[in-house]
Structures are given as C-alpha cells and as structure tokens.
C-alpha cells in the first residue's frame, strides 16, 4: 500500500518536497497535487491519507484528523506570499468590495480579522478565482496567496500592498500558522508504520532543504520568473516547524476566528504518535 499524500503546488511548500526527489523517496508514497482548497477537500473526504491542510479547515474537521508534529507553513512576521493588494489605503475600503481568492481558507479569515480589528472597517467580501486583473476589475482590493501573490510582489504595480503575516504580527505580536500537516485518524490507527515512514521522509526532506537553501533556491528559479536570491529571501521568511510558540500562535488565531464567528469551537491540538 502506498499512502496517498497531498502536495501543495505552491513554492511555499517546495522545501518540504524537494528532498523527496533528491533522496529517491517518492516510490514510497503517491503524491497528489492540488491547491490548498483542493487538498483540504480531498483529505476531509478521505481521498488522501496525509496532507497539508489550511489551519482553519483543520479546526473545523479536527475530529477526523491528527496533527503531525513539527510540520507547518507559518511565519513570524513577513510571509511575502499572502497579500492584500488594494487600489486605495485600508481606511478607504470601508463598505467597498474585496475579492478573496478561492484557493485559501485561513487567509480569507485572516484578512477579515485584520481589517476589522486593526483598521476598524467592514468591506463587502466575495470569493472568486485567483486572477488579479479580473479581481481588481470587480473589486477595490484583492486577497492573493501563494505563487500569484509572489508574482504580484515581484513585479509591483501602482497599488497598496499589505503583507498579512506582517500585519498580523503588528496587530497581535503573535506568530501565524497558515497550514498544518495532518493524517486521517483512521489511516493513522490502521497503518502506524506507514505514517511513521511518511512523516520521517517529510521531516528529512525539510531538514535537507533548510541545510541547503541556496541549492533549492537555484533549483526553483530554473522553472520560475524569480531569481534565486529572491527565492532564498522568500524561503528564509517562512517557518516549517511547529514548536510551542507556533502552537500558541495557532491557538491565538483560532480563538480570534471563533470570536469573529468563523469557528464554533477552538479544538485541542492533538498530534499523531510518530
């Protein structure tokens, strides 16, 4: 049996997967690619055994999932790939339309909390495909994530650009966890040895990439418009671990999400034994 493992097709997860290729570990698992929202749905529906999942969707479906320790996509300030791009300053967005990319769950909540608490405004939100020209044709601001956000940052135009990792840090002083890694409880209970193998492989891949950030930045730049230096700076702005401080940051965010009506309850963080 080859475990079905989700693979986010964004550069922010490149360090978590690069080592799988260099260490020939791909034969031990079936990697299934998708956007964050596609992988969220597949993990929740049982079409994946292990996958990254949006922090919000983990909280909403924690009864079916175990967290994997020390694996996240998070930041302690700038994140560079979760951006609000606006035609006007935030205080002029009150009552205006904001387009939210349909490829994210956590970031949709994050931007609404920040605009409500920091800027004291209530825009009109709608969800749509991630296409900046079309989004700004229909709205006054747009939420972009992942590679689309990086491309907007790399080629800035005449817009106001807000890094939501930095905005969150300034507002709360907390670290921000955007995605966590989870295994379905049923898979974890029936296949503990396979889960340990998958987890161990992912950890080794991440550790290899963190030791060789110049190598992975150069490798990624060969297929992208970004320079290796730009990508190195980006990878170093991200955090992939999940220590107590990041766990506290996630709990803080989930409590805020509940306070604003996006969650019914804040779950206890339960980890798989790996």
pLDDT tens digit sequence for 134-170? 999 999 999 999 999 999 999 888 999 999 999 999 9
**Secondary structure (H, E, C), 198-249:** HHHHHHHHHHHHHHCHHHHHHHHHCCCCCCHHHHHHHHHHCECCCCHHHHHH
- 38: which residues sit within 8 A by CB, 6+ positions away? none
Residue 118, φ and ψ in degrees, nearest 5: -85, -40
User: If you write DSSP's letter for every residue of 56-101 in order, what string do you get?
Assistant: HHHHHTGGGEEEEEEEEEEESS--SSEEEEESS-GGG-TTSEEEEE
Q: What is the pLDDT of residue 88?
A: 96
Residue 272: in which H helix or E strand, if any?
none
- CA distances to 104, 106, 151, 158, 262 from 109, in Å: 9, 5, 22, 26, 7
Q: What percent of the chain has pLDDT over 70?
A: 98
Range scoring the smallest mean pLDDT among 22-31, 40-49, 161-170, 205-214: 22-31
* Residue 173 in tokens: 């002083």
Chain mean pLDDT for the chain = 94
Q: Is the pLDDT of residue 26 over 80?
A: no
* Residue 4 in tokens: 């079905």
* Residue 7 in tokens: 């693979």
CA 120 to CA 176: how far, in whole Å?
21
CA 19 to CA 11: how far, in whole Å?
14
Q: What is the pLDDT of residue 118?
A: 97
Full-model pTM: 0.94
């Amino acid at each position: 049996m080859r475990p079905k493992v989700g693979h986010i097709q964004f550069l922010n997860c490149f360090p978590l997967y690069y080592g799988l290729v260099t260490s020939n570990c791909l034969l031990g698992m079936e990697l299934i690619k998708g956007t964050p929202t596609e992988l969220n749905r597949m993990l929740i529906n049982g079409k994946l055994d292990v996958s990254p999942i949006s922090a919000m969707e983990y909280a909403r479906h924690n009864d079916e999932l175990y967290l994997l320790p020390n694996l996240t996509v998070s930041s302690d300030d700038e994140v560079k790939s979760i951006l609000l791009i606006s035609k006007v300053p935030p205080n002029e967005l009150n009552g205006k339309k904001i387009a939210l990319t349909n490829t994210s769950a956590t970031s949709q909540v994050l931007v609404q909390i920040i605009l409500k608490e920091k800027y004291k405004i209530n825009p009109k939100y709608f969800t749509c495909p991630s296409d900046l020209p079309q989004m700004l044709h229909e709205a006054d601001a747009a939420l972009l994530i992942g590679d689309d956000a990086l491309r907007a940052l790399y080629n800035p135009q005449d817009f106001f650009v807000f890094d939501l990792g930095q905005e969150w840090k300034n507002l709360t002083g907390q670290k921000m966890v955007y995605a966590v890694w989870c295994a379905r409880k049923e898979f974890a209970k029936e296949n503990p040895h396979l889960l340990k193998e998958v987890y161990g492989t992912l950890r080794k891949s991440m550790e290899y990439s963190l030791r060789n950030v110049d190598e992975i930045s150069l490798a990624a730049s060969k297929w992208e418009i970004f320079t290796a230096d730009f990508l190195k700076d980006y990878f170093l702005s991200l955090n992939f671990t999940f220590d107590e401080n990041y766990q506290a940051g996630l709990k803080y965010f989930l409590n805020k999400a509940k306070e604003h009506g996006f969650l019914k309850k804040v779950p206890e963080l339960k980890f798989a034994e790996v």
